Amino acid sequence: MTAADIAYSYPVQQLKNKGLLDVEHGIENIQKVKQNYVWNYFKTVDELRSSRMRALTDCTDDMFANPNRYLAATLPQLPFQNNQFDITLSAHFLFMYSDRLDLSFHQATIRELMRVTRKEIRVFPIMDLASERSVHLDSIINLIEEAGWNYEIQNTGYEFQRNVNQLLRIYN
């Protein structure tokens, strides 16, 4: 496993401390708009908090134990070889921030993911922060087809943010 994120340029303890603040901030905000979420996977806000804290601890423990797995990188450029990975995952970034990241950024990022990936790319979700289909999705689908890759939109078994339960699968 290899993970790439701009945040990995910071020391692990600093990321953990920020993560603790982010979890609490996120929980406070979710409590204000609980109706925008589906409470099947997480039954309560406390269960959500516990799960997020466990994930943060697991991640930062692994970062301490395996620092070479975590590389600082800023999209749309990645520090990897062509076809270096069989599968590449992008979660809660592309499409979610369609209001802040323009179409050219999405296109350049998808091209870069295709460059470093041999077989399959998965992007979750395809919705924006307002739970609406990303305004960039159709243009990205056109780019995928023009590049000779295949794609499908798949339902997932996971839905926490209401109506956010699909991913874009891009494959050779």
Residue-number span of the structural domain to which 17 is assigned: 3-72
Distance, CA of 129 to CA of 94 (rounded, Å): 11
Q: Indicate the residue among 72, 97, 121 that finishes a domain.
A: 72
Contact 38, 45 (CB under 8 A): no
Q: Does 8 fall in a domain?
A: yes
Q: Does 78 fall in a domain?
A: no
Q: What is the mean pLDDT of residues 32-40?
A: 93
Q: Does 131 fall in a domain?
A: yes
Q: Does 77 fall in a domain?
A: no
List residues bridging with 88 in a β-sheet.
Answer: 121
Q: What is the mean pLDDT of residues 3-24?
A: 97
Q: What is the mean pLDDT of residues 105-116?
A: 98
At 118, give phi and psi (nearest 5°).
-80, -45
CATH code at 97? 3.40.50.150
Q: Does 11 fall in a domain?
A: yes
Q: What is the mean pLDDT of residues 59-82?
A: 97
Q: Indicate the residue among 72, 102, 119 that finishes a domain.
A: 72
SS3 79: coil
At 88, give phi and psi (nearest 5°).
-125, 135
With a CB cutoff of 8 Å and minimum separation 6, the contacts of 91 are 123, 124
Task: Tell me the two tokens of residue 145.
Answer: 């087809």
Contact 19, 56 (CB under 8 A): yes
Q: What is the mean pLDDT of residues 11-39?
A: 95
Q: What is the mean pLDDT of residues 101-107?
A: 98
Q: Does 99 fall in a domain?
A: yes
- Kindly report the pTM of this predicted structure: 0.93
Q: What is the mean pLDDT of residues 158-164?
A: 94
The model's confidence at residue 74, banded by pLDDT at 50, 70 and 90, is: very high
Q: Following DSSP, what letter does each residue of 32-43 receive, concatenated?
A: HTGGGB--SSS-
Q: Indicate the residue among 46, 72, 98 that finishes a domain.
A: 72
Residue with tokens 């056109």: 142
Per-chain mean pLDDT for the chain? 97
Q: How many domains does the chain have?
A: 2
Q: What is the mean pLDDT of residues 27-51?
A: 95
Q: What is the mean pLDDT of residues 126-150?
A: 97
Q: What is the mean pLDDT of residues 25-40?
A: 94
Q: Does 79 fall in a domain?
A: no
Q: Does 128 fall in a domain?
A: yes
